[in-house]
Structure 1
Amino acid sequence: MSASTDTPTETGAETTTDATTEVEGPEAAHLLDVVVDALGGQRREGQARMAQAVTDAIRTRRHLLVQAGTGTGKSMAYLVPAVAHAVHADRRVVITTATLALQAQVVERDLPRLAAAIAPQLHREPTWELLKGRSNYLCRNKIDGGFPTDEGALFDIAAPTTDSSAGADGRLGREVVRLREWAETTTSGDRDELDPGVSDRAWKQVSVSARECLGSQRCPVAAECFSERVRARARTVDVVVTNHAMTAIDALESGGQLLPEHDVLVVDEAHELADRVTAVATAELSASVLHAASRRLRRSAGIVSEHLDDAAIALEAALEDAPPGRLDRWPDQLADAVVAVRDAARTALSDLKDASEGQGKEEDAESRGARHLARAAVQDVFSVAERLAEDVGRGAQDSYDVAWVTAGFGPASRAPSLHIAPLSVAGLLREKLFAERTVVATSATLTLGGSFDPVAGAFGLKGEKGSKTPWTGVDVGSPFDYPKQGILYVARHLPPPGRAGSTDAVYDELAALVEAAGGRTLGLFSSRKGAEEAAEALRKRLGTPILCQGDDRLPKLVRDFTDDPATSLFGTMSLWQGVDVPGPSCSLVVIDRIPFPRPDDPLMSARARAVDAAGGNGFVSVSAAHAAVRLAQGAGRLIRATGDRGVVAVLDSRLATARYGGFLRDSLPDFWSTTSTPTVLEALRRLGSGG
């Protein structure tokens, strides 16, 4: 992570500032000072610079990429100018985050305190709304019997029973009865407000997906719809808070119908944006999905589709014979099966339309709902099969998409399935997100190798088409003194990690580090198996408690780790970001290996090959860039407050010896670095003794 940059990095075409587009109000710097004073805080230079950069971006309509290290207070730095713009210009702002934790912080903590502090300056109190996907809310129509449920009629589920032999079905019955009772009293219908929660299986009995929803024009109880009420409120407020998945669906699938009209979008945790958009744009097709759609069609609409059943059998057989991995060339059998699925689904949709027209207005609400669910299921199959068939027609080597086959291993594995994802989402982001509004993208880890260029490229802001999109990159640094607060230790003497897993030498090294630290260790591993084996090995070598992800619910494990400084916690990607443990309980962060994507990852390997074909370096642009973000996120778990001290220990010698090591190190906080084992062990002992 580079140091604070006083002069912003400006890239892209120049733009003309139109001062008339912004209604004049109090300057962001003054408003930020008001908020900081009201909260009893102290002025932070990085936070002030970021607030000014956001203000400038909004006024000049120039996209902003801003890196703000942990402790900067970036939420307030973007919220203050965004709220001021929304109120004075009467133009809505949308805030999107990747994690529920940050979403809750913005809505429940930051916005209420900010609004109370600056309402006198703005002459009214700002308003906001949290907007989630439709499936997060109760569906009144489904509760009233407007839809059939997957497990039979909702109210036919057995009443609660104390018979433990009832098993999962008994638990489902108890949960659904509880949901029915809650539905009579809740004013929000929001699943997150149900405490304790229920299983996904139970929640599906009382909710619908966006595709399953009848829509406000056709739903008989639309006026009572929880989701529609939230959306209606969102159209009247100054600030809407949502998540990356919702933002991606709004831009890519709904044509901007999910989020209310807005002219400024703030993307927090922006390092996650491209991956979340890719996830939304990724589709799957399998024989089990086809069989489920066929059953839904038969049960809900009375239509028996032999073509769909035959296509499912053909797809299942083709997938069994297809080798797993990327489809560089489509096998004839699999290509024919995909085309057959597309044609069968198209025929089924036509049959559904004819059957619906024959029903007329006499059809009851449940029948209409059932028919709608059948149409949604078949439409999903058709959309994915059509996309796959287009890939077949183009040829896998000359495609905008990447298709691959996955196959599980062992008796409990999932059946083989087909997947398709975009080779790149840069064009989608540029055209669907950045072209329609001013975007402020921020994160603690937004530069790679000290440059904004890789992230700007992933957002579609660089290249031949991206060069016409003006943007500015600013690194406001961090309030932490990383060289004095932390040490980066690379175990250069260890052999590079292999596929067989860690060796006794690695476990001995890890044990020595944890022992010197007196516990206090957060172990970040590249796989669940690696974390479990390391935990088992260290439990045999040490007397301090070693917790491992999977031993209990993650929030409880983090809480136990925080409460007992002698305890260590090992885990995988869930711990690499989002874990915030300031103080002495986390004095050592251990990373077992550089978190490169799997060599057999079909999407990552296809992207790397595409970069190589275009004359670039696919390894650096894809694999190393992916690893750099993950490394920076993992190393960022160490210093969470100005009083924190500690060590980030990387047990992968390639960080010190490989040619790409410098690129990866430049993406990390500017810790004091060493490869000396005695030096780092002595430093940890001093920390453990309060030195």
Structure 2
Amino acid sequence: MIRKVFSDTGALAKAIDGFVPRQPQTDMAIAVDAAIRDQGQLVVEAGTGTGKTYAYLAPVLLSGKKAIISTGSKNLQEQLYHRDLPLMKSALGYTGTTALLKGRVNYLCPERLERQISECHRPDSEPGQLSQLVKIREWSSYTESGDLSECDALAEDSPLIPVVTSTNDNCLGKDCPSYEDCYVVKARRRAMDADVVVVNHHLFLADVAIKETGFGELIPEADVMVFDEAHQLPDIASQYFGQSLSSRQLQDVAKDIHIAYRTELRDTRQLEKVADRLSQAAMDMRLVMGEPGYRGNWRELQTSPSVEKELVRLSDALDLAHDVVKLSLGRSQLLDAAFDRITLFKARLARLKDTSITGYSYWYECTRHHFSLNITPLSVADRFREQMAEQGGAWIFTSATLAVEGDFAHFNHRLGIDAKQQMTLESPFDYPNQARLCVPRHVPETNSFRRANKLAALLGPVIERNQGRCFFLCTSHQMVRELSALFREQLSLPVLMQGEMPKQRLLAEYLSLGNALLVATGAFWEGIDVRGQALSCVIIDKLPFASPDDPLLKARIEDCKLQGGDPFAQVQIPEAVITLKQGVGRLIRDQQDFGALVICDNRLVTRAYGATFLRSLPAIPRTRDLHHIDDFLSGSDTDSNTMQSHLLDQPIEG
């Protein structure tokens, strides 16, 4: 049946113009079908262009079983639900029901909206906020989903989003006066009744970890679990199997105490005082924690006298808020919910103070206005393995980047997977003719002085001659800032920098300009699909090893050592390889694409481990001469054989 669906006369050929059968796609679909029938585990690395989405959707729909499909991001989730799933349903004549379920932060909370509108009538409210809230209320009168991504009056990065949505902490649940109108409740009901539910990894793992989303009633009923972009799972699982406390959570609960005082309990002035004290204690704690954009070791920072002092003040503020709010229990639903959160935060802070418990990483992170304190387990394998055993059914994991030199050991070990079948499916793209890879001979060493200046001088002419159409992917925000400034001085082309506008707006601007250079980090290494000649050059500043100062990495390295392993070979290299594969994957997205990849790191050819990276990448002809890249991009070099003499896995001098 599966072979027929993917044949040149099958259902997909009839439904999709230009459909061409691809053996790797058929092989994957057959393997997914077998895993569903056997209720087993399957791990598939499917190269870019394989068509893995259809390869798992067809057998899932044809099985007739209840399935959960989890993707790596909300954007991918929406693309799957609104584009790929309807097409497959139509092609296969599928009559089952489907549902899209996001985390609660994506849905309007009618109760919090009305409370915020009431608050905005106060004289000290921000000007303009009321009119925006009224527009949201107008939209709420006709929306069926309550999904804020559909609200044109609200920017995707609007500071109002956390104000008009709920969290697990502040949701009133069935005690909410607007419970029957709650969009989260409605979305869950649709998911409960659906045969196929599309979620994202964060939502799935939040449920598995804490069972607080209400989604827990749904997962046990599913027979098939499919994880697309599965390479993200281990890190996301680590977040949800740990604990955290943030200044944002503390200030949100303080704000709710304020609202309760102003709207319902004007006779209890002490509420306002404890809310102010708690909010101020959170802000003071942030001030002593250092520079924004930094992730550090909480165990070490906690010993600082100034931090120790503010930690005592924060603990005292929580204790006082707990005692004062307790006196007014039963008088306000909002205040009752705030009391539950304060009790939870007290317990979390007490746990965060005790850094003596082994098997965890203790770390903190600061942004400009907020901080978070975190406890993360060093391994989630046991927890995830238990979940799979308890749940049963079929578990399918797929991504374009799971293996290191064709070996899945690193990925499997991190999640406790024991898959009977693992497979690597090569991309159908003609890399020898569509792409070139260059490690320039005169590229500065990764730790050299004024490296950004040297890179800009070396690569600026290449970018200029290519008329932009280039991503420069960096491994740090500092390099993004330095290179952006240098290229803006040097180039006649538009230079866009990540952080100056939201990701989707930045990408739209890049595409509309047609000749821009985009300098970016993390968020643009994966999940970006730019086809055609809008992107014909991808430059990577260096191999993406995680920062040696990252407390999570330090803890995992120490754990690996305790188990007698080699941290560099077993932790650092595999993760850097997978990240590099993601960055490389931005270049060739279609069979008509062509482009050049430049990796500015001599370690690829001077260190023994460089071969591990190269063998994990597609078979792209390689050179050390940037002139070859110029020739290829300009179309004057069409002979791939010329490049073979420059293969990087051959001994190279210079």
TM-score in terms of structure 1 length: 0.80
SS in 2 for 1:250: helix
Alignment of 1:331-410 (within 5 A): 331=303, 355-356=328-329, 359=330, 363=331, 367-372=332-337, 374-389=338-353, 391-392=354-355, 395=356, 399-406=358-365
Q: Taking every aligned residue pair, what percent have the same amino acid on both sides?
A: 30
* Residue equivalent to 1:486: 435
Once the two structures are superposed, residues 640-659 of structure 1 have per-residue CA deviations (whole angstroms, 9 ceiling, x without a partner) of 11122221110111122123
CA distance in 1, matches of 2:448, 2:200: 36
**Using the alignment, how far apart are the partners of 2:213 and 2:249 within structure 1?**
28
Letter in 2 for 1:400: G
- Residue 67 (structure 2) aligned to one of 93, 102, 115: 93
1:124-273 aligned within 5 A: 125-143=95-113, 148-149=115-116, 153-154=118-119, 156=121, 169-198=126-155, 200-216=158-174, 218-254=175-211, 257-259=214-216, 260=218, 261-273=221-233
Unaligned runs of 5+ in 1: 1-26, 159-165, 462-468
Equivalent residue, structure 2, for 1:16: none
SS in 2 for 1:188: coil
Counterpart of 2:475, as a letter, is S
1:28-83: CA deviation from partner (whole Å, max 9, x where unpaired)? 33334312331121111111111111111111122111111111111111111111
Counterpart contact for 1:318–1:337, Cα < 8 Å: no
Aligned amino acid, residue 624 of structure 1: I
Q: 2: CA distance between counterparts of 1:508 and 1:155?
A: 52
Match of 1:429 in 2: 384
**Cα distance, 1:241 vs structure 2:** 0.5
Is 1:326 the counterpart of 2:297? The answer is yes
Q: State the secondary structure of the residue aligned to 1:170.
A: coil
Matched, 1:459 2:418: no
Task: Provide closer, same or farther for how the CA distance between residues 576 and 193 of structure 1 changes in structure 2, counting only shifts above 3 A.
Answer: same
1:56 is aligned to 2:34: yes
**Displacement after TM superposition at 1:570 (Å):** 2.2
In 2: Cα distance, 1:307 partner to 1:566 partner: 51
Q: Which runs of 5+ in 2 are unaligned?
A: 262-267, 641-654
Name 2:20's counterpart in structure 1: 42
**Aligned pair count?**
618
What is the deviation of 1:477? Answer: 1.5
Instruction: Give the AA of the match of 1:609.
Output: E
**Partner amino acid, structure 2, of 1:441:** F
Q: Cα 1:169–1:654, aligned 2, differ >3 Å: closer, same or farther?
A: same
Distance 1:671 1:523 in 2: 19
Residue range with higher mean Cα deviation, 60-69 or 666-675: 666-675
Map Cα deviations across residues 2-45 of structure 1 (whole Å, 9 max, x no partner): xxxxxxxxxxxxxxxxxxxxxxxxx3333343123311211111
**TM-score, scaled to structure 2:** 0.84
Task: Report deviation, 1:140.
Answer: 3.2
Q: Secondary structure at the match of 2:397?
A: strand
| 1:49–1:493 CA distance, 2 compared to 1 (3 A) | same
Q: Structure 1: how far apart are the matches of 2:298 and 2:464?
A: 48
Higher mean C-alpha displacement, 558-567 vs 240-249: 558-567
Deviation of the 1:293 alpha carbon? 4.5
Aligned residue for 1:43, secondary structure, equals coil
- Select which of 559, 579, 596 maps to 1:647: 596
2:33 is the counterpart of 1:78: no
| 1:481-525 C-alpha deviation (Å, 9 max, x unpaired) | 223321221124323212755254322221243245343322112
> Which digits, 9 at most, give the CA deviation of each residue in 1:643-691, with x for residues without a partner?
2222111011112212321222223222112223343333233369999
Q: How far apart are the structure 2 equivalents of 1:560 and 1:195?
A: 18
For the structure 1 residues 624 and 383, does the alpha-carbon distance in structure 2 shift closer, same or farther, using more than 3 Å as the test? farther
Contact kept, 8 Å, 1:589 with 1:649, in 2: the verdict is yes
The alpha-carbon distance between structure 1 residues 255 and 28, as it changes in their structure 2 partners (threshold 3 A), is farther
Q: CA RMSD in A?
A: 3.6
Q: Which amino acid aligns with 1:420?
A: I
* Structure-2 separation of matches of 1:317 and 1:103: 37
The one-letter code matched in structure 2 to 1:209 is: T
User: 1:688/1:554 Cα in 2 relative to 1: closer, same or farther (>3 Å)?
Assistant: farther
Contact 2:439 / 2:599 at 8 angstroms: preserved in 1?
yes
Q: Which moved more, 1:332-341 or 1:642-651?
A: 332-341
**DSSP 3-state at the match of 1:42:** coil
2:609 & 2:203 partners in 1: Cα distance?
35
Cα-to-partner distance string for 1:320-347 (whole Å, 9 max, x where unaligned)? 4999942556639778987997798578
What CA distance in whole angstroms lies between the structure 2 residues aligned with 1:241 and 1:504? 46
